[in-house]
């Protein structure tokens, strides 16, 4: 077997600050589902506070035509459909995400194809294009199995809150700790 130090170094180099994590909550997990909440957590440096932005998303009329609301999903995220009328419209949410994420050019997510699907639905409803790429968080650990196990162990210490901002912050704080940082307080 060859020396894997080059691979490990490549994995660490992929984990550069700022680290940004994006998370969605959704109406269900079906192909007709739509995003109902988005959260972003930003760790600018290893010792910096983690900045959080989140918003409920007012459903687009086209999304409501499918009548896709899963009561089981509601039990998980605890967001009643009636509360979404107070959310921001898709174009405002998309513009804010572009403002936060555009300068870095990417964010990480743990929802794989689901988060990508909801991101596309959001931007289609907004009539905009995202100014960033959305990458699966596993990409950070491509060459670092040890760090991936540490990351998983940190996440296992607490239950996922299933609210987009809090979930993004939890993931971001675990990433910072895995990299040897000490994330500061959370700022909303």
Q: CA-CA distance, 19 to 182, in Å (whole number)?
A: 13
Each residue of 6-48: pLDDT tens digit? 333 444 445 689 999 999 999 999 999 999 999 999 999 998 8
CB 21 within 8 A of CB 175: yes
Please state the φ and ψ torsions of residue 129, each to the nearest 5 degrees.
Answer: -115, 145
Range of the domain at 40: 5-187
What was the pLDDT predicted at 5? 38
Number of domains in the chain: 1
Q: CA-CA distance, 137 to 186, in Å (whole number)?
A: 20
Q: Is the dihedral of CA 103, 101, 42, 11 positive or negative?
A: negative
Q: Residue 19's closest CA among 176, 170, 135?
A: 176
DSSP class of residue 95? H
| CATH code of the domain in which 37 resides | 3.30.420.10
Q: Is the dihedral of CA 157, 37, 113, 91 positive or negative?
A: negative
Q: Does the global pTM surpass 0.85? A: yes
- Residue 24's beta-bridge partner residues? 38
Task: Work out the percent of the chain whose per-residue pLDDT is above 90.
Answer: 73
What was the pLDDT predicted at 179? 85
């Amino acid at each position: 077997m060859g020396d894997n130090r080059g691979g490990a170094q490549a994995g660490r180099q992929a984990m550069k600050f700022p680290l940004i994590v994006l998370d969605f909550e959704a109406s269900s997990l079906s192909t007709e589902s739509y995003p109902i909440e988005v959260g972003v957590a930003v760790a600018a440096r290893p010792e910096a506070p983690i900045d959080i932005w989140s918003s409920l998303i007012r459903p687009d009329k086209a999304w409501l035509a499918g009548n896709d609301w899963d009561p089981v999903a509601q039990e998980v995220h605890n967001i009643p459909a009636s509360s979404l009328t107070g959310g921001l419209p898709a174009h405002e949410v998309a513009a804010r995400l572009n403002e936060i994420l555009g300068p870095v050019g990417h964010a990480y997510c743990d929802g794989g194809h689901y988060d990508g699907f909801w991101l596309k639905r959001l931007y289609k409803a907004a009539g905009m294009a995202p100014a960033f790429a959305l990458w699966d968080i596993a990409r950070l650990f491509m060459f670092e199995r040890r760090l991936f196990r540490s990351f998983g162990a940190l996440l296992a210490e607490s239950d996922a809150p299933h609210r987009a901002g809090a979930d993004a912050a939890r993931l971001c704080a675990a990433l910072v700790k895995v990299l040897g940082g000490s994330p500061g307080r959370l700022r909303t």
